[in-house]
Structure 1
Amino acid sequence: MAFVREVAASRPALAIIVEGVLGPRGDGYVVTARMTVAEAESYHSEQIASLVDAGVDRIAALTLTYPEEAIGVVRAARALGVPVVPSFTVETDGRLPDGTSLGEAIERVDAATGAAAAYFMVNCAHPTHISNALGNPTTADRIGGLRVNASKQSHAELDDAEELDEGDPVVLGLDNAALRTKFPRVQVLGGCCGTDARHVAEIIAAW
């Protein structure tokens, strides 16, 4: 955190938010060691507390596969007084790996936490997969970030792949931009698996 703050201080013209990132407990593609809300809150509290003590501006929890873990993360962050962004991943059908729809997952987290999350994000999924999750208006209203995969393959296919699928950066940018009118509150764009600076440049240009 001290190193990141030093880098940020060297660019005073930029408004830089320093974000502390959590991963899921277990596999980010498959629901394993599923926790209760209380277990998730306890599990993630220690790392969140360390990041808060180090001076983080915000917490993000990426590649979450079921709602209970997200609820635990949000409750832990709220208790420690730091803004938090839970990020779900979705399968090719737009549902979380545990089968919950994205809209239902967001509604459950908000209901259990008093809508304490700053916003929600989706990561580690291709834009065409995310587009399949648009049946619930809550989804569009609460999604503030998209960090997409380069590949259109499923999580299972990516797990079994021998080589990294980089996809097509230009097509990825266009596919991502197609979500713009459907997610009017998006404020964070980025890349996840298989992406690099080329993909992010195309995502920003197309958006």
Structure 2
Amino acid sequence: MPPNTDPHHYSMAPKHKDPALIAQDMEELLKLALDRGAREARLTSGGAVVFDESLARVDKALEDPDNLTEHWPVRMPLDSLWDSLRSFRYGVFFCCLAPLGMPDQGQGWIEDVYYRQACLQAASIITALESDAFNRGYHMASGFGAGNCRSVLCHKESRCQALVRAKGCIHPYKARPTLAAVGIDAKAMARNLDVPLVPDRVNLYGLVMVG
């Protein structure tokens, strides 16, 4: 296959000087989120992310002595993270739905396999968006998902392997902090971005910030 000679293709730097091409890239990321199963997807920016530290405090309060939900990082430095997120120029906020009749598991342990699958779908959208953004030349992308990664990805493990000395996360390309864990108010963002709430369903939100 001959090399792509288009100067605006993927990571070629000139494209970042072209607002029209940037807008096209963001629309493609929106389409990708929807194609991967998101019910709704909206463009956002670092300045539009809504922070609420009380959400992170609630998440930490749910850590249990049996290590069912505890995972790395146990204590995330929110101030520096928030400053970093505010610096992102673009972002994709999306929503998936848990199965009908499922209670909201929040940041706690997930027992139901179908609820877990819904969280996995959100996780797959995040990794797809991060990968596609990188391939388009946006080399700074940071995703946040739904569902405690300890109970979504490692429910068969005795504990989070990243907390075990000399070991690391066994799902580094899938595991992401939840929005609540880093103090992002997903419901407030959904309202601000006109993402309709589906009654009687758990709305699972995800966010990928793109540099």
Q: Give the TM-score band, short-chain normalised.
A: under 0.3
**TM norm structure 2:** 0.27
TM-score in terms of structure 1 length: 0.27
Q: Flag the structure with larger Rg.
A: 2
Higher relative CO (CA 8 A, sep ≥ 6), structure 1 or 2?
2
